[in-house]
Amino acid sequence: MNTGNQKYIAYYGTSGTGREDGIYSQTLSHSPLELSAAELECHQKKAGFQRLNRNETVLYSIASGDGESGLVRSFRINKRKVGLEFINEQEAAGGGLCHINLDQSEKWLLGVSYNDAVITVFPVSDIGVISEKALSLVLEGSGTKVNPDRQDAPHAHSIYSDPSNRFVLVCDLGMDRIYVYRFDSENGTLAPAATPHVDTAPGAGPRHLAFHGNGRWIYAINELNSTVTQYEWDKDEGEMTLKSSFDTLPEVFSEENATAEILVHPSNRFLYGSNRGHDSIVVYSIDEGDGSLSLVQRVSSGGEHPRNFVLDEDGKLLVVANRDSSNIVYFEVDTESGELSRQKIVENVPIGTCVRVVKR
């Protein structure tokens, strides 16, 4: 590798339960993009989602324990040796976790389980030690049943703390709701906000969120109706007000599709989302005045079922995990236009569903 290039470590989480499933690692350099061989770093079942701390010294991962219990695990990142060093694990209140996040203080790890819609909050230390859960909360309701196969009951799909760290937001696909909680960062407790939730369009199925860097706009990607909705965020009251909605698919596409991940570019000029079915990454420009979106590009994800993707901190690389084709695809980002151009494909990452990129 060119020693003058920026070097990274990439970690890939997989969602299977076989011998080859767990967290993979790969080293790379950028400009030009060069990759080492991807190797299984640690074996674990259903390691489908990870989160990094701000300093990129700790990686938190979901996993499946005995009897399909939900686990969170922490690993110290050894940037010199590339490897992950296991710290500890804790069991979540619900079943298998689907999403985890750190609050802004990084003293709390927030998790949600999909099947039984349980929120769990864990204390974490500054070196990544996870303590026993401080709080668990069940989302209750009957589901909207607009999509009877997917909305039979509450299904919590993601969890976030807002930039002020005073509120926590939870997307519930089954109830077509985004819940808002007041968050006490001293003791890790949650209480319903004055307006406890916002209802999405019936059958939308909100999945993930992205905050704009100005803290005023929230973008939600809706799994079941393939849209992105923009909200105005009142950081004082914790209220979301719907502004507009945008399709992720071209009009001529009529096959089945489900969206997945959504991210704002570090420059705050572009927004990215993934389509599973159309198997694409959709790129929008963000109007700096009102936050509205304009289509820039839809580009093939380079595989099937693009689940999760990540942007590096400089916004020059976008890396996507294509679950059903078991590959990872690297894109160059044009930082002036936001457009993506495919660079490299990493094969044989089985049922890959999450990507994290760390600077060395």
Per-residue pLDDT of the chain (360 residues; tens, 9 = 90+): 334 588 999 999 999 999 999 999 999 999 899 999 999 999 999 999 999 999 999 999 999 988 778 999 999 999 888 889 999 999 999 889 999 999 999 999 999 999 999 999 999 999 999 999 999 999 999 999 999 999 999 999 999 999 999 999 999 999 999 999 999 999 999 999 999 999 999 999 999 999 999 999 999 999 999 999 999 999 999 999 999 999 999 999 999 999 999 999 999 999 999 999 999 999 999 999 999 999 999 999 999 999 999 999 999 999 999 999 999 999 999 999 999 999 999 999 999 999 999 998
Query: Which residue, among 12, 27, 4, has the nearest Cα to 359 in the 3D structure?
Result: 27
Distance CA 312, CA 11 (A): 12
The helix/strand/coil state of 303 is coil
Q: How far apart are CA 207 and CA 158, in angstroms?
A: 6
pLDDT at 74: 98
Return all residues near 63 (Cβ < 8 A) that are at least 6 apart. Answer: 44, 45, 46, 47, 71, 72, 73, 89
Taking residue 89's Cβ as centre, other Cβ atoms within 10 Å add up to 15
**Cβ–Cβ < 8 Å for 208, 221:** yes
- Both tokens of 292, joined, read 């509205």
- DSSP β-ladder status, 84-95 and 108-113: unpaired
β partners of residue 354: 13
CATH class assigned to 89-354: mainly beta
Q: Which two tokens stand for residue 120?
A: 């769990």
Peptide bond into 32 cis (omega under 30): yes
